[in-house]
Amino acid sequence: MSVQNPTKVLHEELKAKLMKPEVISGSEILLRSLLLEGVECVFGYPGGAVLFIYDAMHGNPDFHHLLTRHEQGAIHAADGYARSTGKVGVCIATSGPGATNLVTGIATAYMDSVPLVVITGNVATNFIGTDAFQEADITGITMPITKHSYLVRKVEDLGRIIHEAFHIANTGRKGPVLIDIPKDVSANKTLFQPQLDPVTIRGYNPSTDPNKVQTDAMLNAIQQAERPVILAGGGVVYADASDELIEFVNKTNIPITTTLLGLGGFPSGHELWMGMPGMHGTYTANHAIQESDLLICIGARFDDRVTMKLDGFAPKAKIVHIDVDPAEIGKNVKTDIPIIGNVKDVLGYANTKAVRANTDAWVARVQEMKAKYPLKYKDSDTELKPQYVIEMINETTRGDAIITTDVGQHQMWVAQYYKFNRPRSWITSGGLGTMGFGFPSAIGAQMGNPDKLVVSINGDGGMQMCSQELAICAINNIPVKIVVINNQVLGMVRQWQEIIYDNRYSHIDLAGSPDFVKLAEAYGVKGLRATTKEEARKAWQEALDTPGPVLIDFVVPKGENVYPMVTQGCTIDEMIMGDSE
């Protein structure tokens, strides 16, 4: 006798209920449509223009909403949810200031190709354009930082628009889509007849099929190369192409470097992995790129922090660029073999023909550089070094946690010293470099991965930008482990002022910051502090043994710098090695 899966039965019963044609309000159409799209949790903050929507949530047992303490916290949480699960993240905010508080988070997701559906309220349609209370042209404001924006004029269009928005956000080069819903549209009623058929939009048909002719040209170039290098980016992670990439590297025997957003897309323990390239990249990765005669860029966009001085980047290399977005091909670096298509499909096809390259001598050269110039720092028995803290977290979690960071020195130390071995375990703001991102994105990641250990690593500057979200960790017992690398200074700005601006330190002192342990306790979260290695290990173990959220304040010296470093105007092999020089 077969036994039915109760979860599946419940899902099918819910879907049948949601699919039933019925005359309902725009607000109810929104909630039903989100559930039909498989949305598990919506992050939001109510206000006047979305009160009909929030009224529809009242008493709805199927709809899960998490009330953040700031709209920016809501969208960063949705972003962390999306990056860690591969699903579309959803957030809701009211009109005017509620909507504009989402702008930084929208730009963060847009720069890093994260699929979000951002829902905002607006004033009633007859008030649009009159400078009504809390009116803002949010579709106009966000036009440059969304894949598409909708202003819903008629309730009859709402169901179709939501279905289209999810399709646009999660296909091609992924990104945020905004839906602006006037208050009368959310209140008006119409017959809702859900359609979950595949979306067809005239003018939007992203090409994802691999260009086989160009892929064959890449495979031929590999056979002719002596010093090939693979540069893999976040596109590998977003396309769920990590397995294909590992197979491609194993078949071709080509050394590989992964960008900041590509970390985890290829296992750091692999013998051919060289570390991260660019401004704070490894000696091996940067020098290998500069010595290469073939550079295969996979799902990366040649960001300026990777290339540094453009006219001196990979000067000896023929360039192959694989990307789903044709706008990226040739944008920053002249491309010799362009391959437009989904990374997973391109590599899948390439793996049917790929053979081992003539790279034995080149691999030996790369291994020699790795052995001679490893990442290292000057440890101390009297001070708690930030790099030591990251190594300790890596050792105790065995690289199996989901790690989120804010932006700054701690972000680079995590990228250097935490060993990522699987995709979607690394969540950080890359393109926009958004302070305040790390902690709320960890909340979203934890909601999407309730059985995983989620660690949020922050600087003492960024932690103060969204620290109010401690409240929802306490209230909902969200077990994020919150690490503060506390050097009482804007660390990365201080480092630049030291190295580039001749020690002219200007407005970087954070000595007036709160006691983070007391701040955590004020919100109902356990707070711990460590100033030595012994205290650090004890506090971190206590945090791991605590079932709920914990904040650990690691007090580190303010003068510590991130090395290696390439300063602006230099090529990536012109590196300041710091203590290892």
- 15 exposure class (CB count in 10 Å sphere: 0-12, 13-18, 19+): middle
Contacts 24+ apart (CB under 8 A), 37-41: 37/88, 37/162, 37/163, 37/166, 38/87, 39/88, 39/90, 40/64, 40/87, 40/447, 40/448, 41/65, 41/66, 41/81, 41/90, 41/447, 41/448
Reply yes or no on whether 183 is catalytic: yes
| In contact, 241 and 218? CB cutoff 8 Å | no
Of the residues 447, 492, 565, 575, which is catalytic?
492
CA atoms of 430 and 260, how far apart (whole Å): 7
Q: Which of 133, 193, 223, 368 is catalytic?
A: 133
Catalytic residue among 71, 244, 391, 560: 71
For residue 347, which of 257, 236, 225 has the smallest C-alpha distance? Answer: 236
71 as an active site residue: the answer is yes
Largest CA distance in the chain: 78
Nearest by Cα to 137 from 113, 160, 103, 104: 103
Active site residue 134: yes
Strands 318-323 and 337-340: parallel
CB atoms within 10 A of CB 432: 18
Active site residue 189: no
The reply to whether 133 belongs to the active site is yes
Catalytic residue among 19, 134, 488, 526: 134
Nearest 5°: phi and psi at 426? -130, 120
Return the amino acid letter for 542. Answer: E
Question: Are 552 and 486 within 8 A, CB to CB?
Answer: no
Tell me the H-state helices in 373-465: 386-397, 409-417, 438-448
Catalytic residue chosen out of the listed positions 87, 147, 174, 183: 183
Helical segments of 253-385, H only: 283-291, 304-307, 343-351, 360-372
- The set of catalytic residues is 71, 133-134, 183, 492
